[in-house]
């Protein structure tokens, strides 16, 4: 098993009585409707059921008196079937689905339906999931809808097929052979996404190349859009702000210039002529050297509204990124986005949504939630999570990210009093927003197992589930993903689930405990580099973030320091400001703390930090112990693959621990506490390590 089939393994149901229950309930399949989407649903059902139930399952039964599975959208159902569903249709939205059991004339039937064919397809995937996870399918009554409208993957894929911060091979988009050659992978990609409810994909890098908007490339984009459409997946592109100059021959990209406005209108029309359901644009502007409206003394509102006006007639949207910080601004990087957006609340057009990273710096192993969440009541805000592990050991380290996503989604912004959690801003309920969204920076490449490490398929899956329902628990996601992907055996599920659920905290411990952040090595961000201080922009250097000195360590973001805490609601700011109330997990994010400061457990900061690094290493050791006991439950290929990767992770956790502790010890001048292993190399050795070919360099 090379892992290619992800969580759609459809393994044979070994339990005979359960299999019989399924076979009895599914004597006949009955389709209503004949769209491409319904054909896909039908194909998926047949594929899944024949694989899980074996030869006894007949997809072509003509037994009209049998127990039947009926599937189709409301418009295609007969009145007597609709009658069985009561008010359920009022409880779902356009993409929602209903799965319900009912009895008629002594037979037990199951209906899978929705208001649209896509809803039916989602229902079918969820029905198959019940069988895959060995649940009973008697007396079903499931009513479910996505809580967030725009659920997208962001591919940071370049046109030369390299992937920025991608660690699973090259881009799956074969630009050279498109549009005529349609790699079957495109279909499998669409299937996988639809099966978790992802309904959009941004094909290219946020550091955009204007060429994607030329006819030669749009033809290729159109071909992909045609493959994805029946799976309910819309295509989006990133728009380079200076495209009117680069491919349009204009002298300016000023958002208020009449020719520029017209150029975007015409370009947009051209795209919609090819792709009538094109989703819209993502824009990274005036950030890390990308062009933007500020180049013309305009602001983000001017830039976003320019594009929003162009796509509005076609129901397109603009996802304008808030990941901005400037080389001319010397204030704390964590504070820079907020003033560029929050004062402009209410000025963006209705079809603009601001895409905000989970934290205010950049996808660290742990970040406090971004202060913009909850802070713009009149402007749609979407989450940007990173699925690819730029700062988390690339695709080598097994780290289950839904735990991290859950932490941010559940964080309380207090913007409308207690209970104003981030998830509520995202699903629109906090401020009554109509346009809602979530983006995940994809970890997919052309490796056979898609994500470079079979375990990290869980992060793609988990992201999709949380985009559908941001209130789900990481625990439930781990449980279902393991069952779908590997086995329903409790002896496998329980220990491996625990291993996954602890893995993110392990990474925080061996990389950046107690609120440390951005101390990864230069450029590629792999491995420790707390000593790095020679990069051209101060805020790119780890020393900017940890501020270790003879007195202590940490970034003072309270009122005595950068005062970043003032950007949060007072209830939150008060907690972050107060050494006694702040969670120690965020301590050094907000405070510069003396080395001998006593933590809650009575240990000095130095001792506690050293012990955290050690704990991280020990946690990886116990992940290995767990995995080594799983050999009999997993196929040899995936078992070995994961085993080798875990062993590398262990080596590298020690590297992190030793390098960071040796470096910080120069400032603390304190001995390593008991229980922390002595480093086997010198600081100079760790500082001399180089990664000339590390991806992302």
In angstroms, what is the minimal distance from the CB of 236 to ligand BDP?
16
* Whether residue 302 lies in the annotated active site: no
Position 367 contacts ligand BDP (CB under 6 A): no
Beta carbons of 687 and 662 less than 8 angstroms apart: no
Position 340 contacts ligand BDP (CB under 6 A): no
Position 333 contacts ligand BDP (CB under 6 A): no
In angstroms, what is the minimal distance from the CB of 206 to ligand BDP?
5
Which member of 363, 369, 394, 450 binds ligand BDP (CB under 6 A)? 363
Q: Give the separation between CA 502 and CA 497, rounded to whole angstroms.
A: 9
- Pairing outcome for strands 68-71 and 97-104: unpaired
What angle in degrees, to the nearest 10, is found between the helix axes of 457-468 and 184-196?
A: 50
132 vs 364, beta carbon nearer ligand BDP: 364
| Terminal C-alpha separation, the chain | 33
Which residue has 């997919």 as its token pair? 444
**Rule CB under 6 A: which of 203-242 touch ligand BDP?**
206-207
Residue 310: which of 357, 274, 333, 278 has the closest Cα?
Answer: 278
In angstroms, what is the minimal distance from the CB of 205 to ligand BDP?
7
Position 329 contacts ligand BDP (CB under 6 A): no
In angstroms, what is the minimal distance from the CB of 290 to ligand BDP?
8
Position 74 contacts ligand BDP (CB under 6 A): no
| CA 526 centroid distance within chain | 20
Per residue, the 3-state secondary structure of 40-58, as one string, reads HHHHHHHHHHHHHHHHHCC
**Rule CB under 6 A: which of 154-173 touch ligand BDP?**
164-165
Of the candidates 117, 157, 390, 447, the residue annotated as catalytic is: 390
324 vs 421, beta carbon nearer ligand BDP: 324
227 vs 324, beta carbon nearer ligand BDP: 324
Residue nearest to ligand BDP (CB): 362
What lies within 8 Å, CB to CB, of 467 at 6+ separation is 146, 148, 151, 152, 197, 198, 438, 440
Q: Give the separation between CA 545 and CA 514, rounded to whole angstroms.
A: 13
363 vs 461, beta carbon nearer ligand BDP: 363
Beta carbons of 461 and 153 less than 8 angstroms apart: no
Q: Give the separation between CA 649 and CA 646, rounded to whole angstroms.
A: 5
Position 406 contacts ligand BDP (CB under 6 A): no
Number of residues that bind ligand BDP (CB under 6 A): 9
In angstroms, what is the minimal distance from the CB of 384 to ligand BDP?
8
1 vs 207, beta carbon nearer ligand BDP: 207
In angstroms, what is the minimal distance from the CB of 271 to ligand BDP?
23
**Rule CB under 6 A: which of 418-477 touch ligand BDP?**
none
Of the candidates 44, 332, 362, 447, the residue annotated as catalytic is: 362
Position 677 contacts ligand BDP (CB under 6 A): no
Position 390 contacts ligand BDP (CB under 6 A): yes
* Whether residue 21 lies in the annotated active site: no
| CA 296 centroid distance within chain | 33
Position 415 contacts ligand BDP (CB under 6 A): no
* Whether residue 79 lies in the annotated active site: no
Work out the burial of residue 688: count CB atoms within 10 Å of its CB; fewer than 13 is exposed, 13-18 middle, 19 or more buried.
exposed
Q: Give the separation between CA 18 and CA 280, rounded to whole angstroms.
A: 46
Beta carbons of 22 and 137 less than 8 angstroms apart: yes
Q: How many helices (H) and strands (E) does the chain have?
A: 22, 15
Which residue has 């609340």 as its token pair? 345
| Per-residue buried b or exposed e for 156-190, using 16+ beta carbons within 10 Å of the residue's own CB | bbbbebebbbbbbbbbbbbbeebbeeebebbebbb
DSSP code per residue over 338-392: HHHHGGGTT-S-TTEEEEEESSSSSS-SS-PPPTTTTS-TTS-EEEEEE-S-TTT
In angstroms, what is the minimal distance from the CB of 334 to ligand BDP?
14
Of the candidates 164, 174, 288, 571, the residue annotated as catalytic is: 288
351 vs 388, beta carbon nearer ligand BDP: 388
362 vs 480, beta carbon nearer ligand BDP: 362
49 vs 322, beta carbon nearer ligand BDP: 322
In angstroms, what is the minimal distance from the CB of 133 to ligand BDP?
35
| CA 573 centroid distance within chain | 27
What lies within 8 Å, CB to CB, of 296 at 6+ separation is 252, 253, 254, 255, 256
Which residue has 């893995």 as its token pair? 503
In angstroms, what is the minimal distance from the CB of 362 to ligand BDP?
5
Which member of 278, 323, 348, 369 binds ligand BDP (CB under 6 A)? 323
Q: Give the separation between CA 627 and CA 640, rounded to whole angstroms.
A: 10
In angstroms, what is the minimal distance from the CB of 443 to ligand BDP?
13
284 vs 465, beta carbon nearer ligand BDP: 284
The torsion defined by the Cα of 355, 358, 363 and 368, in degrees rounded to 10, comes to: 150
Position 284 contacts ligand BDP (CB under 6 A): yes
* Kind plus residue range of the DSSP H or E element containing 98: strand 97-104
165 vs 220, beta carbon nearer ligand BDP: 165
- The first and second tokens of residue 466, run together, are 């949380």
33 vs 695, beta carbon nearer ligand BDP: 695
32 vs 238, beta carbon nearer ligand BDP: 238
In angstroms, what is the minimal distance from the CB of 521 to ligand BDP?
13
**Rule CB under 6 A: which of 93-152 touch ligand BDP?**
none
| CA 219 centroid distance within chain | 28
Q: Give the separation between CA 611 and CA 601, rounded to whole angstroms.
A: 12
In angstroms, what is the minimal distance from the CB of 136 to ligand BDP?
44
* Kind plus residue range of the DSSP H or E element containing 38: helix 36-53
* Kind plus residue range of the DSSP H or E element containing 483: helix 474-485
Using DSSP, state whether 194 is helix, strand or coil. Answer: helix
> Could you list the active site residues?
288, 362, 390
Footprint of ligand BDP on this chain (CB under 6 A)? 164-165, 206-207, 284, 323, 362-363, 390
């Amino acid at each position: 098993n090379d892992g290619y089939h992800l969580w759609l393994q459809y393994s044979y149901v070994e339990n005979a009585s359960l299999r019989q229950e399924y076979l009895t309930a599914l004597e006949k399949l009955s389709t209503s409707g004949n769209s491409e989407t319904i054909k896909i649903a039908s194909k998926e059902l047949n594929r899944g059921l024949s694989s899980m139930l074996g030869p006894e399952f007949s997809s072509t039964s003509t037994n009209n008196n049998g127990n039947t599975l009926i599937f189709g959208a409301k418009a295609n159902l007969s009145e007597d079937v609709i009658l069985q569903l009561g008010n359920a249709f009022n409880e779902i939205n356009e993409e929602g689905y209903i799965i319900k059991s009912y009895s008629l004339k002594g037979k037990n039937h199951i209906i899978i339906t929705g208001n649209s064919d896509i809803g039916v397809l989602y229902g079918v995937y969820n029905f198959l999931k019940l069988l895959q996870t060995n649940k009973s399918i008697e007396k079903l009554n499931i009513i479910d809808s996505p809580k967030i409208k725009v659920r997208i993957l962001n591919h940071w894929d370049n046109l030369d097929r390299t992937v920025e911060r991608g660690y699973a091979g090259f881009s799956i988009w074969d630009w050279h052979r498109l549009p005529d050659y349609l790699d079957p992978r495109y279909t499998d990609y669409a299937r996988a996404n639809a099966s978790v409810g992802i309904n959009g994909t941004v094909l290219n890098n946020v550091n955009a190349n204007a060429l994607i908007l030329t006819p030669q490339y749009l033809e290729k984009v159109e071909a992909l859009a045609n493959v994805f459409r029946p799976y309910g997946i819309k295509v989006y592109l990133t728009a380079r702000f200076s495209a009117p100059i680069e491919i349009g021959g204009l002298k300016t990209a000023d958002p208020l210039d009449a020719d520029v406005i017209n150029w975007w209108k015409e370009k947009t029309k051209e795209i919609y002529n090819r792709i009538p359901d094109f989703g819209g644009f993502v824009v990274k502007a005036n950030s890390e050297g990308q062009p933007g409206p500020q180049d013309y003394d305009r602001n983000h509102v001017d830039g976003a509204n320019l594009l929003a006006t162009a796509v509005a007639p076609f129901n397109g949207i603009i996802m304008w990124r808030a990941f901005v910080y400037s080389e001319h601004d010397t204030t704390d990087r964590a504070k820079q986005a907020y003033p560029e957006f929050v004062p402009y609340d209410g000025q963006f057009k209705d079809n603009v949504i601001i895409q905000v990273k989970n934290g205010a710096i950049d996808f660290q192993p742990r970040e406090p939630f971004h202060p913009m969440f909850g802070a713009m009541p009149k402007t749609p805000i979407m989450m940007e999570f990173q699925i690819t592990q730029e700062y988390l050991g690339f695709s080598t380290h097994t780290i289950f990210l839904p735990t991290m996503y859950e932490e941010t989604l559940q964080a309380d912004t207090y913007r409308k009093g207690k209970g104003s959690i981030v998830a509520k801003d995202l699903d629109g309920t906090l401020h009554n927003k109509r346009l809602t969204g979530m983006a995940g920076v994809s970890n997919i490449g052309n490796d056979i197992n898609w994500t470079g490490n079979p375990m990290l398929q869980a992060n793609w899956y988990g992201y999709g589930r949380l985009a559908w329902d941001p209130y789900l628990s990481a625990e439930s996601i781990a449980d279902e993903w393991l069952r779908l992907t590997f086995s329903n055996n409790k002896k496998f599920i329980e220990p491996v689930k625990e291993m996954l659920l602890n893995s993110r905290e392990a990474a925080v411990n061996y990389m950046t405990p107690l609120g440390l952040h951005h101390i990864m090595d230069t450029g590629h961000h792999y491995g420790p580099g707390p000593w790095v201080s020679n990069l051209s922009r101060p805020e790119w250097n780890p020393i900017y973030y940890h501020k270790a000195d003879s007195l202590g360590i940490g970034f003072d973001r309270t009122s005595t320091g950068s005062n970043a805490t003032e950007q949060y609601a007072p209830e939150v700011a008060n907690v972050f400001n107060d050494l006694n109330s702040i969670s120690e997990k965020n301590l050094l994010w907000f405070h510069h703390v003396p080395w001998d400061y006593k933590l809650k457990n009575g240990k000095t900061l130095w001792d506690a930090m050293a012990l955290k690094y050690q704990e991280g290493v020990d946690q990886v050791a116990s992940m290995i112990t767990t995995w080594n006991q799983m050999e009999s439950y997993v196929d040899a290929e995936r078992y070995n693959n994961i085993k080798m990767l875990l062993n590398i992770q262990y080596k590298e956790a020690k590297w992190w621990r030793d390098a960071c502790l040796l470096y910080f010890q120069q400032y603390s001048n304190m001995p390593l506490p008991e229980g922390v292993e002595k480093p086997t190399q010198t600081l100079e050795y760790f500082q001399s390590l180089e990664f000339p070919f590390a991806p992302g360099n």
